[in-house]
Structures are given as C-alpha cells and as structure tokens.
Chains A and B, each alone.
Chain A
Amino acid sequence: MPLVKNGAPAEDIFTAVADDAALPDGPVLVSAERFLKEADTLVARNDEIGVLWPNARDVAELKPYLSRLSVVALTFPKFRDGRAYSQARLLRERYGFKGELRAVGNVLRDQALMMARAGFDAFAFEKAADAEAFNKALATYSHFYQPTGDGRATARDVRVAHAGPAPVEG
C-alpha cells in the first residue's frame, strides 16, 4: 500500500495489530473495538496510537480520545461507498481532530481531491501509479463551489474578492 502523506510518499510507521495479538513496541494501529475496550491503556502508552474506524460506526464515539490519537484511518471498502467522507468532515470540522486522517481501502486517484477536501491528509493507495499521480490528481481542479473545512477558496470567496464584469449574453 503506497502511502502518501501531506503530498509526499511516506513510510507507514504504524503496525496494524490484530485484536488478539500482543502489542509490539512502536506506533500501532488497532481496530475500533479494541481501541474502545482498551482506550485508557492504549492512549497512556509512550508510543503513538492509531485506530482503524469502520464507516458504519459513529465517529462521535472517538470524541473523548481525539487529542491522544495520532491516526484515524477511515475505510473505503469500495470507492463507491462514500460514508467516510462525512466521517472525515465531522472529525475535522466538528470535533477538531488535528492528527493524521488516513484513507484506507479502495483508495484511487480519482477520489483523492474529494478526500482531501473532506479533510484527509494521508492516502493508502492501492496502486503505485495512483500514489505517483497524487499531486497531479490534487491539481485537477482549482475552482470549488462549496465550502468545507479544507480552507480552499470557494466560488463565493472568489466572487466577493473580484466582482466580475456585468453578465452579457453567452
């Protein structure tokens, strides 16, 4: 899974740990169930902790732990299943999550910009070619109609800043 983080190839330092396996040293990524069951112990470790959160579970459950979490990995079982876009926006815009928001699963370049707009900053691509094309994919559009929490200028910002000429028949 080639990982792209903050626009550049990155090594995945997190070890995914099965629910019944002992925790190794170093940063780990655990399931939602294990995380919630052992949250107090997990966030008390000296190592970074990440959680793999299913797209059918309310991300509000993570609220008490967000400041201690390094990674929330949201899943795209199929790229057509877009629940994680809403989860990402809630985590970023409503619950103020500042850590790494990682897209995992069926992650493809054609959705990368939308994911970024929803708040993802790390992408575990399925194909190496998609990881290589990441920055090109993010540059596909420079014009955005609707506001999200990503800070990109929207149609309204642009229009208010530069009131254009009066409309003529086009």
Chain B
Amino acid sequence: MYVYDEFDRAFLQERVVEFRDQVERRLAGELNEEEFKPLRLMNGVYLQLHAYMLRVCIPYGTLSARQLRALAAVARKYDRGYGHFTTRQNIQFNWIKLAELPDAMADLAEVVIHGIQTSGNCIRNTTTDPWAGAAADEVEDPRLYAEVIRQWSTLHPEFTYLPRKFKIAITAAKHDRAAIRVHDVGLRLHKRDGKTGFEVMVGGGLGRSPYIGKTIRDFLPEEDLLSYLEAILRTYNLGGRRDNIYKARIKIQVHEMGAEAFAQKVEAEWAEIRDGALKLDKAALDAIRDRFLNPALEDLEDAPASLATALADPDFARWHANSVAPHKAKGHAIVTLSLKPVGAPPGDATADQMDAIADLADAYAYGEIRVAHEQNLTLPYVRQKDLPALWAKLKAIGVATPNVGLISDIIACPGLDYCSLANARSIPVAQKLTERFADDARIADIGRLHLNISGCINACGHHHVGHIGILGVEKKDEEFFQITLGGKGNSKARIGELIGPAVSEGEVVDVVERLVETYLDLRTSPAETFIAAVQRLGTDPFKERAYAPR
C-alpha cells in the first residue's frame, strides 16, 4: 500500500491542529452551528439522531493491520466498541462526543488516517476495486491513480465548496467492483496502443434521481487525468445548480445540459489547462508509484494438495465457493470476510473483531486489509495453502458466514436507528431477512443475488442497483417499504424497476421470499442467476406473485 511520506504526515498534523482550534471556537461560542457545520463535515463529523458521528476516510479502501488496530482502539476508547463499514469504503463511529473528537482525530493521525472530506460538498474519498492489485481480471493496479486523485483533491482550494458532494470511483478490471457508473465521475482504466488511460463517465448517481453515468471520453491518457478532472470540476463548480439541494449534483447538470453539451464545455476548459502544472509526467507518477509497498509474493502453485483435502469438507467448500476469488498471482487467493452474520446489522465490526482481523492479516495476508463497497472486508493476498487454517480462525471470530454475493450479503444504510435523514429503519429489515435466509444450503442454491436496503430516498444503501432493492418510505407516520427489481451496479449498470405499492414492515420479508420462490420456480436451471431470470422474464411474473392475495 501507499506509505505516507514526511509531506503527507506534516500536512495531516496541520489538519489536526486546525480542527482542534475549530472545535474550541465552537465550544466557546465563537462559531455558531451554521458556521461550524461545514467545517466539521469536512472532517467527517455529522450530527445524527442521538450523537455526533465520525466518518473516517479509508483512502480507496486500503488499510494496514496497524491502522485497523487504531480503528479498533478508537471504537473502544471513544465509541461503544464497534464501527460500521460503509459503501464508500469508509468506517463510521456513531457515538463520539464533540469535545473528544479532536483527540480521536489525533489518535488516528498517528497512523495517518483521518476524516478529511468524508462529508461536505467537496470531493469525497475516491473509491476503487477492493481487489485492486490482486484481481486476476485487472489491466493494471488502479490504486496509483486513486492515490494521485486523493492528493490532488485533498483540500483543493477551488473545489471545497461545490454545489454538492462529488464522488469519484475508478476500476481497472473487466468486472466493475467499484460501481463506477453510479458515481459523479467514473473512471475505467484501460489500454490503447500500449498506453494507459481512462474511459471517463460523468453524471451517474443514485439518490432521488438515479442516473447511469454517461461516457464523455473514451480514452483519456493517464498524464491528463488531473487536468481533465479539474476541467470537469470547474465546469460543475461554476455551472452546477445551487438553487435546490436535490438538483445540485452534477448528474442534474449533465442531464439538463445534455451529455454532449456538457462534454464540449469540459473539453473547451480542458484545452486551456491540459498542458499546465497538472500534467502527470513520468516523474510525477513515479514519485507516488515508488511509495507503494507491495508484498513480495511467493512463487507458489495453484490448488495445493492441502486445499484439495480441505475442500472435501462441505462447510469449507461452501465458504470457499463464495468467499474466495481468483488472484493474479499463482498459488494465491483473495478472501472476503463477511460482515453480514445472521441477525446482525450489515457492515458492523466490533473492536475485538477488528483487532483479530488485523492479527490474521499480519499472519496470513501481508498485513493488508481492504474495505469493499458491499460493506465487507477483504484480505487481498492470501496463500491458497493457508486457506483452511485462515477459514477456521475467521469462523471463530464470526466473519466467515458463507454468504458473500448471496441474498443475505445485504447492503444497508444505518437508517432511522441512527440517521436524521431516514424515513425508516433499514437495519431491522436486514436482520429479519438474514434470519429468514439463514440456511447456508438454501442461499447457496438461490445463488448470486444482491439485496440492497436504503432507509430513505437518499439511497445510501444503493437500493436502485440491488437485484432486489428495498426503499424505506414514510406513510402516515408508519414505515413502509418499496420494492424494486432488476437493478445492477456493475459495468452493465441499470436502475431497478418499482414493482408496485409499498408494503408494511411486517410484509416486506414475505414479499422478498415470494420473489425468490418465483425465481426458483421459473429459472431454466440453477445456472441462470436471479438477475438473469428477471431480465429474461421481465418483472411481471414476479409482481404477480409478490402481491398475490394471501
């Protein structure tokens, strides 16, 4: 992973001092809440229903074991002993006191992590493939460019008070595991004539007006990455709407102008700055590339005998089938740790679990951990021969539920249990669903199925791109849930279709189960996935059964 240099560390110390001063001025009444709000937000501090929430930035989802231990320590010292991993590869602490925030920040800065730009109308944490650097299907490691963007976007003097938040995601693999088409800017790294560059998409996003990003450039050479992003951001900063918070994202600007007109404006702006100080020549890229320490992987053979033996155990085989992914290096594997045990809030980890995972990362995975946007953790460098031993230890700490990519691997926002924006509680619905779909053999038979839950139209739980999406709404002071079908977040991203009237909390699990049963009845074979069946059949047969009289 990228190792901070003296410059990065000195910058971060300055940030800690600045924030401490701002909190002191707030507590002394020199700053009113309106003035303080954007300052705290820029440090990841929200005021939630019951307490302040601190969202800590995990740049492109990459953590060292030491950093994970520091997060565990913060969870214990300042919070209630757990943290919540988010869809943007960050972690949230829900019960921090304002007066203690500067100390928590200072503790995190010791291991060079922070809350900078995890909130506010600025450029947020750039997210990427949690398997970056390890995935068998990637063209090149996208983390270099994510780090380049991190540095450029950190406290950018021009783009810190944008019309609205701005999220960039980047992928370099055939399969998009970063949901780039539902980001304000999506970057797909690819090669043309041996040169590295990017397909640039703009204006994707979820929320109350979901859009799939539009490609405005097929190939942007790597050296032009920052000048092109600056041109996009400037076009947005000057022209994006500020009259209505719900119309302020770049997706609305792109939609209202038309992607072509937007692209022309960006290209005209870019022509003015492309040969300026932002040019990423080899020296500029190498200075950052050289600070990535990547593990020296051993020369191993695929499918070692010990693994073959272990696969005879059906429990291990089931976990292996959905939690272990192919690696670019022979004899290695990528392991996903499910943070979706039956009956628990999706994406939560206790301080003890974090410490234990850090130890296991040190012992088995070169001390590196990734956060995946599905709210799971990943160990990207595991020797295949170690898989059986690792599995046993992961099981012992409750992070080896064999449900990765399956129906109970639910993405959910914190919902009305924590969030002041929510209309409904997401977590109890997720918990009930995991209980209904608790049988490992049954969910394996159902196969790949993404179920996403948002507690309000802001769509933090990405319900629009769930194969099954659940959206909490309020009707006459009661929580109801709309169900969408057929959404996808990958390279063929599409927005799910609403199948009918919202149902009560008591009904939602039954409706989901009927959708699943419909699929099981109608699939051509177990090889046809849920989403493939929805696409083949359309939503009608599902609607009929979902709302069947009971």
Contact = CB atoms under 8 A, between A and B. Distances in A.
Contacts of B291: 167
A118 B237 CA distance: 14
B238 A156 contact: no
Contact of B35 (A89, A94, A108, A145): A108
Given A86-B237, A114-B155, A79 B161 contact: yes
A82 B248 CA distance: 13
Interface residues of B, number: 49
Contact of B283 (A79, A82, A160): A160
B237 A83 contact: yes
Interface in B33-65: 35, 38-39, 64
Nearest to A77: B242
A159 B157 contact: no
A110 interface: yes
Contacts of A169: 3, 64, 293, 367
A118 B272 contact: no
A80 B3 contact: no
Contacts of A89: 158
Interface in A94-140: 94, 108, 110-111, 113-115, 117-118, 129, 140
Given A85-B158, A114-B157, A145-B152, A159 B3 contact: no
Interface string A141-163: 11111111000000110111000
Given A82-B160, A156-B284, A159-B287, A167 B5 contact: yes
A29 to B, nearest CB: 23
15 contacts: A80-B38, A82-B121, A82-B159, A86-B234, A141-B15, A145-B151, A145-B154, A146-B152, A146-B154, A146-B156, A146-B278, A148-B158, A159-B5, A169-B367, A170-B64
Contact of A156 (B154, B234, B287, B290): B287
A115 to B, nearest CB: 8
A19 interface: no
B10 A143 contact: yes
A164 interface: yes
Contact of B238 (A79, A83, A143): A83
Nearest to A143: B11
Contacts of B276: 147
B6 interface: yes
Contacts of B11: 141, 143, 145
Contact of B242 (A81, A113, A115, A140): A81
B513 interface: no
Interface residues of A, number: 39
Contact of A87 (B121, B154, B162, B238): B238
B111 interface: yes
Q: Which of A82, A111, A118, A166 is the most central at the interface, judged by chain B CB atoms within 10 Å of its CB?
A: A82
B7 A155 contact: yes
Nearest to B111: A170
A13 interface: no
Interface in B443-478: none
Contacts of A142: 10, 14
Contacts of A114: 155, 157-158, 160
B31 to A, nearest CB: 8
Which 10 A-B residue pairings sit nearest by Cβ, starting from the closest?
A: A82-B161, A167-B3, A117-B157, A147-B277, A143-B11, A114-B157, A85-B158, A145-B151, A167-B291, A86-B237
A170 B161 contact: no
B22 interface: yes
Contact of A86 (B30, B111, B158, B290): B158
Nearest to A136: B21
Contacts of B284: 156
A170 B3 CA distance: 7
Given A89-B158, A110-B22, A117-B157, A170 B4 contact: yes
Contact of B162 (A82, A94, A158, A159): A82
